Amino acid sequence: MAHTIEHAASARAKCRACGERIAKAELRLGERLPNPFAEGEMTHWYHPVCAALKRPEPYLEAAATTEHALERREWMDEQAALGVAHRRLPRVDGAQRAPTGRARCRSCRELIEKDAWRIALVFYEEGRFQPSGFVHAGCCGEYFGTCRVIERARHFCPGLEESDVEELKRAIEVRS
Ligand SMILES: [Zn+2]
Ligand SMILES: [Zn+2]
C-alpha cells in the first residue's frame, strides 16, 4: 500500500520522529514498510511536519496524493526537498549548549567544548531513530552541506528561546 495521510482514529499512536502522541482526529502520516516479522506491511505513524523533516521521501510521496489540506504545506514541502537534496539533514534532532566537554564532533572529530552550541543527530536505522552524537554548530556547513538547520533544530527542541536561536545562528555562521 502507498504511504498515507489520514485523520487519526485514536490517540494511541506516537510519532516516531518526536516521540509525542498524535491526537485523535489530528492528521497523521503513515509510512508503509515491509513487516520483518510477518507477511504483509506495517505502518509507522508521524506528525506530517515531523515526517517532512525526518522522513522526506515518504512525506513527499504521501503529500503528492493526499486530498487533505496540510497546514504549512509549502514550508513542509520545501524542508522535505532540502532533506532529499542534503542526505544528512534529516538527522537533525535539535540543538543545545554542550553540558560537558566530552562529546566529539562527528564532522571535525574535535571535542565540543562545554557550553558551545551543538546540533544533536539521530540516525534512521531499521525503522528507528537512534541518538547518534553531535556536530559543532560551526561544522554544519561542512557536515550537512547546508547551514539551513535552524528551523529543524527548533522544531525538535521547542524549548529554545528567541535568544538561544540568535546565539545558535551566530555559532553556525562563525566557522561556516
Ligand atoms: Zn512528531
Ligand atoms: Zn566540529
Predicted local distance difference test score (pLDDT) of residue 173? 86
The per-residue pLDDT for range 159-171, each reduced to its tens digit, is 999 999 999 999 9
Query: Which ligand has the shortest distance to the CA of 50?
Result: 1
- 6 alpha carbon – ligand 2 mean position (Å): 40
Tell me the domains of the chain and their CATH numbers: 4-85 (3.30.1740.10), 89-175 (3.30.1740.10)
- 137 alpha carbon – ligand 2 mean position (Å): 7
Which residues have a Cβ under 8 Å from the Cβ of 66 and sit 6 or more positions away?
4, 5
The per-residue pLDDT for range 14-44, each reduced to its tens digit, is 999 999 999 999 999 999 999 888 889 999 9
Q: Interior CA angle at 26 toward 149 and 40, to 5°? A: 85
Q: Residue 126 pLDDT more than 90?
A: no
- 51 alpha carbon – ligand 1 mean position (Å): 7
User: Is residue 33 classed as helix, strand or coil in its secondary structure?
Assistant: strand
Mean pLDDT value across residues 130-147: 97
Cβ atoms of 2 and 65 within 8 Å: the answer is: yes
